[in-house]
A and B are shown apart, each in its own frame.
Chain A
Amino acid sequence: MGIQSVATVAAGLFSSLGYRVRVLNDFESRIVGGYTFTQMLVSTGQALCVPSLPDLVFCIAPSVLPTDLASLPAETLVFTDTAKLGAVPANVVPFPASTLLPPGQRRAENMLYLGAMAGILRIAVDALAPFIASRFARKGDAVVQANLAACRAGHAHAASLAGDDLALAQASLPPGRALSGNEALTLGAVAAGVGLYAGYPMSPATSIMEGLARLSAQRGIFVEQAEDEIAAANIALGAAYAGVRAMTATSGGGLSLMTETVSMAAIAELPVVFVNVQRPGPATGLATRTAQGDLSMVLSMGHGEFSRAVLTPGTPERAFVAAQKAFYLAEKYQVPVFLLSDQHLADSLVTCTGLEVVPRFQERFLKTTSDLEEPSQVRRYLDTPAGVPPRPVPGLTNDLVVADSHVHDELGHITEDPEVSGRLLARLAGKERRMVADMDLPEVAFDQPASPDVLLIGWGSTHGALRHATVRLRESGLSANHLHFHELHPLDWPRVAEMLRAARTTVCVENNATGQLARLLRSEICFNPTHTVLRWDGRPFYADRLLDAIRRLAP
């Protein structure tokens, strides 16, 4: 994880200085070693999408250099341990890393490179100190000091190199904070008042469970590592029945195991938030890679017909709000809610400046008073004009509460009466129509043009890549806009159709092989995007390559 420590510290530093940062973490499904790299974009403006080729390379393992050097442009500067290289290639900076480190401090080598990065970019070394101290505080002062010393050594060496070509321009934006999608989503759940989280470890969702566990004692959040995903979902369901905001997070394989419980949440009208941090499938797929392959799955999973919501935030800030809204929708409508993220959103660090706490999303919609004089089973499944029955908290009042997986009567007891069944199933299916009023239409990037020549369409984690491409197309004089779905179900589809039909050419961009959003647009509104740009090899879109792909399609 050496290189990721560098990126985490650097992202925090640059964000706090008013730069905008985006960090891609690329790693193999193993614990130590392997070919791991991190790409960081630092900008004085927006940092929307990382380009495929860097200006600066820091390579802790010189053994991988021969492969990587061949693909780099001649002007890219490379820092690696030149003490270990025979001949030093043209674009490699003299940097004898192993001789610069104080003896016995090999483990701090990554901070040597962080220092070098700050040095070559002409960032004062003192600015780094608090970030290093924070990162290593848990490991004790000796470790903090060793890392600080390594950082200073690297900085001194790089700062002494001639030329200010790479000096960063002064940042003028307000300071921000670098957060990953999983961190933002976790904080959103805390803001929403999650009471119980039950889960089973699965990449790339695990850091949500770990993040909540760190806050568990302080915030009174129960984190249960269940025996399997089926248990996790059912523990959350039990807690929801008892009146607690409950969630689980997993990836596609784990969510597959929860399928039956989603259906149960629907018929028992119990609010549970299911987070799916997608990775490529089928089956075990690519454990630490990214994909948008489970949209069709969450739109239809669970046997029977029932209402659900699907949220697909495109940025960490949106993930923070989506986590709050997921609980709100789940409790307001008593439905299962899916929050779709993916490895790209989950593990990428992005400078965040506006994390919005939405007090409205903390409303509970619970029934906490009773008209009954004696304890008695209450009409938990009463049909009301609002289309959502009252949800009393068991144990709180004289209302005795029944939940049931069968088709049931108003009290919650098993029935096979056709009229009662019909009424119940109509309610379960019909909630979606009411929910539309609470759902956000897709975000349109620019007010003008309302009828663009080219409209880029996406959902979820591709937001930055599409926004970047749109900006570039506009800069080149094209009439372009970007429409992004941060929420996908249910929606006011006729309105969406109007938005889409205003464009001359539409390009639907997705991180999957079959164009699942494009298929949804066809099935919901008979809208066929002019083009699709798809990537399904487990990697995210890079700025330049996506732009090239779109330019080849668009007029």
Chain B
Amino acid sequence: MIDRHHMTWCPGCGNFAILKTAHEVLSELLPDPRSYVVVGGIGQAAKLPHYLSRCNAFSGLHGRATANAVGIRLANPKLRVILFSGDGDLLAEGGNHFLHAIRRNIGIACFLHDNQVYGLTRGQASPTAWSGMSTTVHTLGVAARPYDPLVMALAAGVRFAARTTVADLGHLRETLAETLRFGSGFALCQILQTCPSFNKERSVAWYKEHTTALDPGHDLADPDRALAAARSLPGGKIPLGVFYRSEATAYEQSHPALGPQTLVERGLAHRFTGQDLEELLSPEVSAP
């Protein structure tokens, strides 16, 4: 991690807790920094790959991080691909890529920083903003209903779905680790996060008061129950935990073009001659 002085996050930003926890969990679970790439898009959350400092990192365009992550994973499935980005980046600008990465079930661990606002552009509503939230743009309150990323992802068939918060560092750590341990495709971890500059209502205290652990008897393998649990508000509180986990074949594990060699390895070994061209053309008809 780089020192705080060089970070552009506001004092008290929930991103600090996510960065520190991510750093610890990555060091423990993926001790070889050559073995993974951390991907981000644009926004305050998406700067996290820059601040980890001892990793491969891809910091792309606004909304496109998921598509970049897909490309990296297809090119080299020996690299774990870990995505950290915000609710605006992943759900607004990048909403289509998010849904289709889930549809593919490609091996990406996706950490969604959810603070309901756009921080870097100074406080507009994100797709997860609650109805009635007042912002510099929505001066009369947000008229639309919030987008629930877990519900969307589960409906789209995601194989791993979890929710945690920066207000409970132990839970955050445990859930980040659980998400990284998932090896069967796309894993989504929604992190409810504070923004002390533009979302003063959802403070650490608010999250502590308004979240609760998912029922310990929750059946992790049942997608319908997972969906119901993700939508539920037991005692008026947002449930936290792993909602769904189902082993499956990841996209990159089933494609005939991806054998034991990665595309990168194949590319490095590529030699093509006139003889190869003849062979390519030969299944077609030659002169009678």
Contacts and interface: CB of A to CB of B under 8 A. Distances in A.
A413 B50 contact: yes
8 contacts: A134-B285, A187-B280, A217-B257, A231-B70, A242-B71, A260-B61, A394-B76, A412-B59
Contacts of A304: none
Nearest to B67: A234
Interface in A207-247: 215-217, 219-224, 226-228, 230-231, 234-246
Interface string A380-413: 0000000000000111111011111110000011
A174 B60 CA distance: 52
Interface stretch (B27-35, B111-119, B184-192): B27-35
B5 interface: no
B236 interface: no
A142 to B, nearest CB: 20
A34 B270 CA distance: 44
Given A244-B263, A357-B272, A364-B267, 16 more contacts: A16-B288, A129-B288, A187-B280, A193-B267, A196-B74, A226-B67, A235-B71, A238-B39, A238-B58, A238-B60, A238-B73, A241-B68, A246-B75, A395-B56, A400-B33, A403-B57
Interface in A339-368: 355, 357, 359, 362, 364, 366, 368
B264 interface: yes
Interface residues of B, number: 62
B259 interface: yes
B277 A355 contact: yes
B78 interface: yes
A245 B68 contact: no
B284 to A, nearest CB: 6
Given A131-B285, A134-B284, A362-B272, A238 B50 contact: no
Contacts of B32: 375
Contact of A187 (B37, B64, B277): B277
Contacts of B68: 234-235, 237-238, 241
A243 B33 contact: no
A326 B202 CA distance: 51
Interface in B1-22: 8
A375 B54 contact: yes
A240 B70 CA distance: 12
Contacts of A235: 67-68, 70-71, 74
Contact of B257 (A190, A222, A228, A402): A222
Contact of B285 (A12, A243, A398): A12
Contacts of A223: 257
B254 interface: no
Contact of A130 (B71, B259, B285): B285
B266 interface: yes
A400 B55 contact: yes
B182 to A, nearest CB: 20
A304 B221 CA distance: 49
B194 to A, nearest CB: 23
Given A230-B64, A237-B71, A241-B58, A220 B272 contact: no
Given A216-B257, A264-B61, A402-B59, A239 B67 contact: no
Contacts of A245: 267
A412 B264 contact: no
A271 B242 CA distance: 39
Q: Which of A175, A397, A413 has the most CB of B within 10 A?
A: A413
Contacts of A244: 75-76, 263-264, 267
A405 B71 contact: no
A368 B64 contact: no
Contacts of A405: 42, 59-61
A549 interface: no
B273 interface: yes
Interface of A: 12, 16-17, 126-127, 129-131, 133-134, 175, 177, 187, 190-193, 195-196, 198, 215-217, 219-224, 226-228, 230-231, 234-246, 260-261, 264, 355, 357, 359, 362, 364, 366, 368, 375-377, 393-398, 400-406, 412-414
A16 B285 contact: yes
Contact of B74 (A224, A355, A404): A224
A22 B119 CA distance: 59
Contact of B264 (A192, A231, A243, A402): A243
Contacts of A400: 33-34, 54-57
Contacts of A393: 264, 268
Q: Which of B8, B54, B255, B257 has the most CB of A within 10 A?
A: B257
Contacts of A238: 39, 58, 60, 67-75
Nearest to B74: A222
B87 to A, nearest CB: 19
A242 to B, nearest CB: 4
Contact of B57 (A133, A398, A406, A412): A412
Contacts of A227: 96-97, 99-100
Contacts of B59: 402-406, 412, 414
A243 B272 CA distance: 18
Contacts of B286: 16
Q: Which of B37, B259, B287 has the most CB of A within 10 A?
A: B287
A362 B50 CA distance: 33
B216 interface: no
Nearest to A174: B287
B61 A239 contact: no
Contact of B72 (A12, A191, A192, A239): A239
B217 interface: no
Nearest to B263: A195
Contacts of A195: 75, 263-264, 266-267
Interface string B203-217: 000000000000000
A135 to B, nearest CB: 8
Contacts of A242: 37, 71-72, 75-76, 79, 263-264
Given A195-B267, A216-B257, A398 B284 contact: no
A431 to B, nearest CB: 21
B270 to A, nearest CB: 4
